[in-house]
Homo-oligomer: A and B are copies of this chain.
Amino acid sequence: MAGKRVAVIGASGYGGLQTLRLLQGHPDLTVTFLGGERSSGRRWSELVPFLPLEDDLVVRSPDPEAIAAAADLAVLSLPNGLAAGLVPELLQRGVKVVDLSADYRYRSLAQWQEVYAAEARQVARRDDDLCREAVYGLVEVAEARIREARLVAAPGCFPTASLLALLPFLEQGLIETNGIVIDAKTGTSGGGRAAKETLLLAEAAEAVAPYGVVGHRHTSEIEQLAGQAAGQAIQLQFTPHLMPMVRGLLATVYGRLRDPGLTAEDCTTLLKASYRHSPTVQVLPVGVYPSTKWVRNTNRCLLSVQVDPRTGQLIVMSAIDNLIKGQAGQGMQCLNLLCGLEAGTGLPLLPFYP
């Protein structure tokens, strides 16, 4: 096996589990280290008997020295604030890192400390240089830079779906930069595997509700990238809603067209052109609207555009699997690029349906 060796840290949370699922059968990457504090010392097959790995490793405490001895690259799937304790040590030892948390998604430490104030109070970070060095891992936008990186911050699930819908229109100046509304809907697996009352089936089934209205943390992440695309600061409305389902994320994005003569067909053509080199993004014909079910278990983002000529509104609908293109799949695209492989290597594009 001439491929690269990968460490997965935080292996038994949903991000880690999906990363492991995706890495099984990968032609060039092998999992050689499983890191986790809680389950340290336990053999994987005892811990998760239903998800047999090619190598039935023992989970180990995520010590940087041990990781560096075992792996060339590491995927970190840890609660916000914890990756920053590990990343400098790993980079120093030559281990490239894909981080699935928010720790390196902002271009300055100060901004992270502002948005993630609660976490920032728990940890002492001094890695502003790494915040500036890290590449935001939205592959469709930054493929070349990811390829050269040491540290990639994989985007959050909401930003991924929202930005893939918005960026082409902002880059080409086709919509007003104010008044943008993103109404997003996510399955409960986005809340992670730790037990919380609100995510119990008895509470979350047969229920739809908004949360984090005004000020959800992903707002700033979306605005940072949207502003870069538009070439000016952008403030927009982002409202997440919890759906009674496990997986899937739909962002319905509203913006006002600057040219009221643009049709849904025009906008569809434009989107297709923007993503002609991105096999992960599929633009649907006008009038076909994406279901989150059509992307389950895939690394695909489905987009569809509609225009209301009466109101001048552009509506872009964007569906992803929150744990794949919204998390572990995107992380694996980055991992592939760090290894000099095609971004999509080993990633599924056919949905688990029905």
Residues of chain A at the chain B interface (Cβ within 8 Å): 14, 17, 21, 24, 49-52, 178-179, 181, 183, 185, 187-189, 191, 193-197, 199-211, 213-215, 235-237, 239, 241, 243-248, 250, 252, 254, 256, 282, 284-285, 288-297, 302, 306-308, 310-311, 313, 315, 317, 319, 349-354
Q: Is the CB of B185 within 8 A of A185?
A: yes
Q: Is the CB of B292 within 8 A of A209?
A: yes
Q: Is the CB of B181 within 8 A of A313?
A: yes
In the assembled complex, the Cα of A189 lies from the Cα of B292 at a distance in Å of: 18
Q: Taking each of A244, A302, A307, A352, which has the highest tally of chain B beta carbons within 10 Å of its own beta carbon?
A: A244
Residues of B within 8 A of A295 (CB): 50
In the assembled complex, the Cα of A250 lies from the Cα of B282 at a distance in Å of: 29
Besides A50-B290, A199-B202, A210-B317, 12 more A-B contacts (Cβ < 8 Å) are: A14-B354, A24-B350, A49-B284, A49-B285, A193-B200, A196-B200, A209-B289, A209-B290, A213-B289, A241-B250, A244-B245, A352-B352
Q: Is the CB of B197 within 8 A of A288?
A: no
Q: Is the CB of B202 within 8 A of A292?
A: no
In the assembled complex, the Cα of A85 lies from the Cα of B326 at a distance in Å of: 47
- Identity of the chain B residue whose Cβ is nearest the Cβ of A209 in the assembled complex: B291
Q: Is the CB of B354 within 8 A of A239?
A: no
Assuming the A-B contacts A21-B350, A308-B214, A350-B51, are A237 and B209 also in contact, with contact meaning beta carbons closer than 8 angstroms in the complex? no
In the assembled complex, the Cα of A247 lies from the Cα of B319 at a distance in Å of: 22
CB distance from A58 to the nearest CB of B (A): 18
Among B51, B247, B307, B310, contact of A351 (Cβ-Cβ < 8 Å): B51
Q: Is the CB of A296 within 8 A of B206?
A: yes
Among B52, B179, B252, contact of A256 (Cβ-Cβ < 8 Å): B179
Assuming the A-B contacts A213-B289, A244-B245, A306-B214, are A185 and B208 also in contact, with contact meaning beta carbons closer than 8 angstroms in the complex? yes
Among B49, B193, B195, B291, contact of A208 (Cβ-Cβ < 8 Å): B291
Instruction: Enumerate 11 A-B pairs (CB-CB under 8 Å) in ascending A order.
Output: A14-B202, A183-B183, A194-B197, A199-B201, A203-B293, A206-B248, A208-B319, A210-B252, A214-B306, A244-B244, A246-B354
Residues of B within 8 A of A289 (CB): 209-211, 213
Residues of B within 8 A of A211 (CB): 289
- Identity of the chain B residue whose Cβ is nearest the Cβ of A14 in the assembled complex: B354
Residues of B within 8 A of A207 (CB): 245, 248, 291-293
CB distance from A285 to the nearest CB of B (A): 7
Assuming the A-B contacts A50-B302, A291-B208, A292-B208, are A354 and B203 also in contact, with contact meaning beta carbons closer than 8 angstroms in the complex? yes
Residues of B within 8 A of A181 (CB): 181, 183, 254, 313
Residues of B within 8 A of A256 (CB): 179
Among B14, B189, B203, B208, contact of A250 (Cβ-Cβ < 8 Å): B208
Among B52, B185, B297, contact of A352 (Cβ-Cβ < 8 Å): B297
Q: Is the CB of A308 within 8 A of B237?
A: yes
Q: Is the CB of B202 within 8 A of A188?
A: yes
Residues of B within 8 A of A183 (CB): 181, 183, 252, 254
Residues of B within 8 A of A351 (CB): 50-51
Residues of B within 8 A of A317 (CB): 210, 213
In the assembled complex, the Cα of A244 lies from the Cα of B248 at a distance in Å of: 11
In the assembled complex, the Cα of A187 lies from the Cα of B205 at a distance in Å of: 11
Assuming the A-B contacts A21-B350, A52-B349, A241-B252, are A200 and B208 also in contact, with contact meaning beta carbons closer than 8 angstroms in the complex? no
